[in-house]
Amino acid sequence: MLRPRSIRDDNANDDLSPGDQQENVISEKRGTKKTIIQASTSELLRGLGIFISKNCDVSDFDPAHLVTWLRSVDRSLLLQGWQDIAFINPANLVFIFLLVRDVLPDERHLIHSLEELHAWILSCLYVSYSYMGNEISYPLKPFLIGNDRNVFWNRCVSMVTSHSRKMLLLNSSSTFFTEVFTDLKHCSNPS
C-alpha cells in the first residue's frame, strides 16, 4: 500500500487497540521545531460522521451509523480472508474523507434516505479499498446495498473519473495529505 511520506508509525501506537490507532503527521517545519498533529481512528471516524451529518439532508442520519457501516464491511472482509489487518485506520480515513468532502456537495440533492446515504458511503469505501487496499480486487457484496449494481458502478466510476488527480496527490504530496488530515481532524472538534 502506498503511504504518504508524512505518515510515520509510532511504537506508542502498539499499545492502542486497532480502533484507537493514531497517526502522527508532521504539518510544518520551523527551523528545527516540528509541529505534529495526531488523531486516533475513533476521532477521525467521529469527524467524518459529523461532516456527513452537517452536509447531507438525511435527518435520521447519526454519525454512529457511519462507524457501523464502515466497521461492518471491514470486519466482513477480515473474516472472509480478503485482508489480514483492518483497513479502517487514520490514513485510509483521510482518503475516504477526501472523496466524501469533494463529492457529497454535488450528490446531496440525490440522497434523500438513510439507505441511499448508506449506499453512497459504501461506494466511497469501495473506491478507497480499490485504491488503498492490499488486494487487486474485493468482493462486491459487502459494499452493495440493494440490487442495483449499475447505480453502484456509475457512482464509483464517476468518483474515480473526477478525483483521480486528487487521489494520486494525496499519496504523493505530504503537504496535501496534511491539509486533508487537518480538515478531517477539525471536523471531530466542532467549535
- Domain membership flag for residue 110: yes
Q: Over the stretch 70-121, which tens digit does the pLDDT of each residue have?
A: 999 999 999 999 998 999 999 999 999 999 998 887 777 788 899 999 999 9
15 lies in some domain: yes
Task: Say whether 177 sits in a helix, a strand or coil.
Answer: helix
Average pLDDT, stretch 43-49? Answer: 95
Chain Cα centroid distance, residue 150: 23
| Cα 180–chain centre separation | 11
| Domain assignment of residue 60, yes or no | yes
The single-letter DSSP state of residue 189 is S
CATH of the domain at 75: 1.10.472.10
Task: Give the structural domain span for 105.
Answer: 7-187
Dig out the grid coordinates for 43 from the structure.
476521532
Residues 181, 143: Cα–Cα separation, whole Å = 24
Express each pLDDT in 142-162 by its tens digit.
999 987 899 999 999 999 999
In a domain, 74, yes or no: yes
Could you tell me what percent of the chain has a pLDDT over 90? Answer: 61
**83-93: per-residue pLDDT in tens?**
989 999 999 99
On whether residue 120 sits in a domain, the answer given is yes
Domain count, the chain: 1
In the predicted structure, residue 46 carries a pLDDT above the cut 80: yes
When the pLDDT of each residue in the chain is averaged and rounded to a whole number, the result is 82
Give the pLDDT confidence score for residue 191 in this predicted structure.
Answer: 58
Residue 35 lies in a domain: yes
pLDDT digits (tens, 9 = 90+) for 175-186: 999 999 999 999
**Within-domain flag for 2:** no
pLDDT tens track for 62-71:
999 999 999 9
Confirm whether 1 is domain-assigned: no
DSSP H or E segment with residue 80: none
Render 127-175 in DSSP notation, one character per residue. HHHHHHSSSS---SGGG--SS-HHHHHHHHHHHHHHHHHHHHHHHH-HH
**E strands in the chain:** 7-8, 22-30, 33-40
